[in-house]
Amino acid sequence: MKIPGRIVLSVVIASVLMFGGVAWSASMRGHGPWGGPSAYSSPEMLSSLGITDEQKVQLKALAERYKASAGPLRSQFASERRDMRKLVHAKPPNDDAIRELSTRMAGTGAELAIQRAHFFSELRGAFTPDQIRKVEVASSKETSSKSDLRTDMALGQIARSIARQ
C-alpha cells in the first residue's frame, strides 16, 4: 500500500514541531516564569553575591513584612477588578457605580504602589553597593540596558528566594 506524500510530509512536520518544542522547553528550565526560578534566584547567583547570614535574616523579614502588608491590598485590588468587570458588562451600565469603584481602585492602586516603593527602598538598603552592582551587571546582560526597575525586580526575586529557604 502506497502512502500519499502529503501524509508523510505532514507527519514529518508535526514530529519536528513537537520534538522541537520539547527541546526548547527543556532548554528553558531555570530561566524565568516558564522554566522555573529565574537566574537571579539560582544558587550560583546567590553564592556569587556573598549574602551573609545577617542579610538573609534581614531579607527574609523584609519579604515577609511586605507580603503581610501588601497581601490584603492585592486581594482587595483583585476583588475590585472582578467587580469592575461585572459592572462594565452589566446591562444597563451603572455609570455612578463604575465611577465610585474606579475611585476606590485608584486609591488601592496608589497604596500598593506606595508599599512597593517602600519595599524596594528598604530592599536596596539590605544589599551592599557591590552586590547591587553585580545584580545590575547580570540584569543588563540579559536585556542590554541598565534599568533601576529591572535591578529592583531582580533584588526582589533574590529576597523572595531567600525568604522561601
Q: What is the mean pLDDT of the chain?
A: 78
* Residue 41, CA distances (Å) to 36, 53, 129, 153 in order: 10, 16, 18, 11
Residue 11 has a pLDDT of 61
Asked if residue 119 and residue 66 are part of one domain, the reply reads yes
- Determine the Cα–Cα distance for residues 103 and 92; give it in Å rounded to an integer: 20
What H or E segment, with its residue span, contains residue 4?
Answer: none
Instruction: Name the pTM for this structure.
Output: 0.64
Asked if residue 31 and residue 51 are part of one domain, the reply reads no
Q: Report whether 46 contacts 158 (CB < 8 A).
A: yes
Within 10 angstroms of residue 108's Cβ, the number of other Cβ atoms is 18
State which residues form the domain around 73. 40-164
Q: How many domains does the chain have?
A: 2
Q: Report whether 89 contacts 124 (CB < 8 A).
A: no
Q: Which residue stretches of the chain have pLDDT < 50?
A: 22-35
Helix axes 53-88, 148-164, angle to 10 degrees: 110
Q: What is the domain-level CATH number for residue 123? A: 1.20.120.1490
